Chain A
Amino acid sequence: MGLLSEEDREYLIQEFNKELIRDVELLHFTDMNDKSEYAVQTKALLGELAGLSDHIKLTIKDCSQKEEIEVEGLDLCPAIKVKSKRKGFMAFYGIPGGYEFSSLVEGIIDMGSDKLSLSDEVVKELSEIDGPIDIKVFVTPACPYCSKAVRTAHLFSLANENIKGSMVEANGFSDLARKHMVSSVPHIVVNGKGSFVGALPERDFLLKVKEVMN
């Protein structure tokens, strides 16, 4: 029996069929020797997703391939990068479980289509950013509000290629979470320095990112 319910599988097949206009690669870096429940489930989940559409390709590589990880712009492992010919940077560090599964599905659809679910005003403001911005959203799988913040960071990356949007599963990266003093999620760290807490509407999220950078 798979991880996805039959109802969810049917829904996803229809959605991918309707929305995907180009190939999307799920590039998964993992410790090949890791037999933990999370590692096994992550691989199984990605395999199930790749089986739902001819447009979704799964590539699995080992965390030891550090050069390649760097080339991909990733800085943690395990990681999933959702890639396509569309510009944008969407990463998931750790398992996209619980509510984050929806962020992964949205990410696949976003990278495989031309849609951009942001207001014109926010897209314009984002286009004016000319320096690199790395947005890491710390989450827990049971946090119902976190996927909104992850999706916002991912959408920002579609609007401006200087921006990287990543989910970080806080339990899986507890040292990093402690370093950034994460005790409430979503906790958003910008360029490894400043941070803010909370799922905010996209415009407020952008204002906070700018505030933190200044």
Chain B
Amino acid sequence: MQFTLMKESKEKRTNYEAAIIGAGPAGLTAAIYLSRARIDTVVFEKLIPGGLIASTDWIENYPGFPDGLSGGELGERMKRHSLRFGAKIEDIEVTGVALDSENISIKTAEGTYSASALIVASGTSPVRLNVSGEENFIGKGISFCAACDAPFFEGEDIVVVGAGSSGIQESLYLSKFARSIKIVEFLSHPTAEQILLDRIKDNDKIELLLFHKVIGFIGEDSLSGVEVESRETGEKKVLDVSGAFIYVGLSPNTGFLDGLLDVDPKEFIKTDPELRTSREGVFAAGDVRTTSLRQVATAVGDGALAAHKVIKYLEKKNEG
């Protein structure tokens, strides 16, 4: 049993040179770079450091950790790293952002903060399938967090929806608990990294069901089946399972912006190559912006670049 200590900064202030929304890899990297440049920086996080990676069982493609490490540990290490150089992390949800000619106002449940520059690094949330029964069975058999909920499915038959890297990685973890796992994939082929696909070949608990779509979740008090349809023949069948873990994509956490920034058709924030958004003084970094790859490594790169651009922006603003 490990005992994970999340260290907090206790100081309460409301005025900073730079603010960052989101303490995932992008936000915490930006906090490290800004704090080392002696920019007075606050990071807002509504849940826990690490963002979405905190619920990832194991990360083994982030350089410097050849044996891999849990997403929760990586997030906590990044948080400690940013605190070491003086960033403040506020455990508060941001509910709105407003701009005027001088400052950026960040509204939270515990009052309004102000900053001269802002990095939006609020990340993404798992996409839902939006099919019949899904809403009813979330928390009653449907889960989005294998690390949290795998022990409840010890010896059970379950489904994982999505054969991307997340779906396959989490299936490998779930196979330590479940009796059998069917991975249902909409496409005719899995899209995960080849190394993960090689691993499931050696795992006799895991079976791929390709070119099928989930059309509904069924049960009474809790989930008892997942209805799928073949995209080739149209044949429908029910998979008798007590659990379903959904990994079919990500949607950006941008609701609090209320249309403030230009976004793409999927609501990801548009940026230029220097990570500037459509509003002056506001930058975006990591999974929340329009990009072709969403990984810890790319988020970290974004965080560093966004911080660098904020430093330059503040220098220019202070000169002017």
Question: Which of A59-67, A128-136, A179-187 forms contacts with chain B?
Answer: A179-187
- Interface size class on chain A is 35 or more
CA distance A112 to B300 in the complex (A): 38
Residue interface bits B108-132, CB-to-A below 8 A is 1, else 0: 0111000000000000000000000
A45 and B3: CB pair below 8 A? yes
Other A-B contacts than A41-B1, A183-B140, 14 sampled, CB-CB below 8 A, are A11-B5, A11-B7, A45-B3, A105-B5, A142-B148, A143-B148, A144-B47, A145-B47, A145-B54, A146-B148, A182-B152, A183-B222, A184-B148, A202-B109
A170 and B147: CB pair below 8 A? no
Q: Which of B4, B47, B153 contacts A148 (CB 8 A)?
A: B47
With a cutoff of 8 Å between Cβ atoms, the chain A residues found around residue B8 in the complex are 106
B residues within 8 Å of A by Cβ?
A: 1-8, 10, 46-48, 50, 54-55, 71-72, 75, 91, 93, 109-111, 138-143, 145, 147-149, 151-153, 221-222, 242-243
> Which residue on B lies nearest to A199, using beta carbons?
B47
With a cutoff of 8 Å between Cβ atoms, the chain A residues found around residue B6 in the complex are 99, 102, 147
B140 and A181: CB pair below 8 A? yes
B1 and A98: CB pair below 8 A? yes
B147 and A144: CB pair below 8 A? yes
B203, chain A: closest CB distance, angstroms: 21
Decide: A144 near B1, CB < 8 A? Known: A183-B222, A184-B139, A184-B148: no
Judge whether A58 is part of the interface by a CB distance below 8 angstroms: no
Decide: A140 near B140, CB < 8 A? Known: A101-B4, A102-B6, A199-B47: no
Q: Which of A41, A102, A184, A203 contacts B143 (CB 8 A)?
A: A184
Nearest 9 pairs between A and B by C-beta? A197-B139, A143-B148, A144-B54, A101-B3, A97-B1, A201-B93, A102-B6, A184-B139, A183-B152
With a cutoff of 8 Å between Cβ atoms, the chain A residues found around residue B145 in the complex are 143, 145, 184
Q: Which of B5, B7, B111, B152 contacts A184 (CB 8 A)?
A: B152
B148 and A197: CB pair below 8 A? no
B50 and A144: CB pair below 8 A? yes
A37 and B1: CB pair below 8 A? yes
Judge whether A171 is part of the interface by a CB distance below 8 angstroms: yes
12 A–B contacts from the bound complex (CB under 8 Å): A3-B3, A19-B10, A97-B2, A98-B2, A99-B48, A99-B72, A140-B149, A141-B1, A144-B72, A145-B145, A181-B222, A196-B139
Residue interface bits A115-127, CB-to-B below 8 A is 1, else 0: 0010101100000
Judge whether A6 is part of the interface by a CB distance below 8 angstroms: no
CA distance A184 to B146 in the complex (A): 9
Q: Which of A102, A106, A185 contacts B149 (CB 8 A)?
A: A185
Judge whether A95 is part of the interface by a CB distance below 8 angstroms: yes
Residue interface bits A177-214, CB-to-B below 8 A is 1, else 0: 10001111101000000001111011100000000000
Q: Which of B4, B10, B111, B139 contacts A98 (CB 8 A)?
A: B4
Judge whether A4 is part of the interface by a CB distance below 8 angstroms: yes
> Which residue on B lies nearest to A201, using beta carbons?
B93
B272, chain A: closest CB distance, angstroms: 32
Judge whether A8 is part of the interface by a CB distance below 8 angstroms: yes
With a cutoff of 8 Å between Cβ atoms, the chain B residues found around residue A177 in the complex are 152
Q: Which of A7-38 contact B (CB under 8 A)?
A: 8, 11-12, 19, 37-38
B170, chain A: closest CB distance, angstroms: 13
A196, chain B: closest CB distance, angstroms: 8
CA distance A2 to B21 in the complex (A): 37
Q: Which of B46, B140, B141 has the most CB of A within 10 A?
A: B140
CA distance A145 to B53 in the complex (A): 12
CA distance A3 to B4 in the complex (A): 11
CA distance A206 to B296 in the complex (A): 33
